Amino acid sequence: MTLLAKYGVAYEAVCNITATPFGPTNLAAACGTGFKVIPGTPV
């Protein structure tokens, strides 16, 4: 997942995709500790 924040800074999270939809109970387990800044942003 990629998220574009205010002022053009982009963040990403890498998630494990399974047949179970993302929800509040499994999002942290699927995506780890959260979003990290993508180097080189804003452009």
Q: Which residue in this structure is represented by tokens 């109970």?
A: 25
- Indicate whether 42 belongs to any domain: no
- Indicate whether 12 belongs to any domain: yes
| pTM for the whole structure | 0.60
Write the pLDDT tens digit of every residue in 16-34.
988 989 888 888 888 887 7
Asked whether the beta carbons of 14 and 32 are under 8 A apart, the reply is yes
Examine the pLDDT at 4 and tell me if it is beyond 90.
Answer: no
- Say what the pLDDT of residue 19 is: 92
Examine the pLDDT at 43 and tell me if it is beyond 90.
Answer: no
Beta bridge partners of 40: none
- Indicate whether 9 belongs to any domain: yes
Q: What are phi and psi of 24, to 5 degrees?
A: -60, -30
Residue 12 lies in domain: 2-37
Instruction: Provide the domain count of the chain.
Output: 1
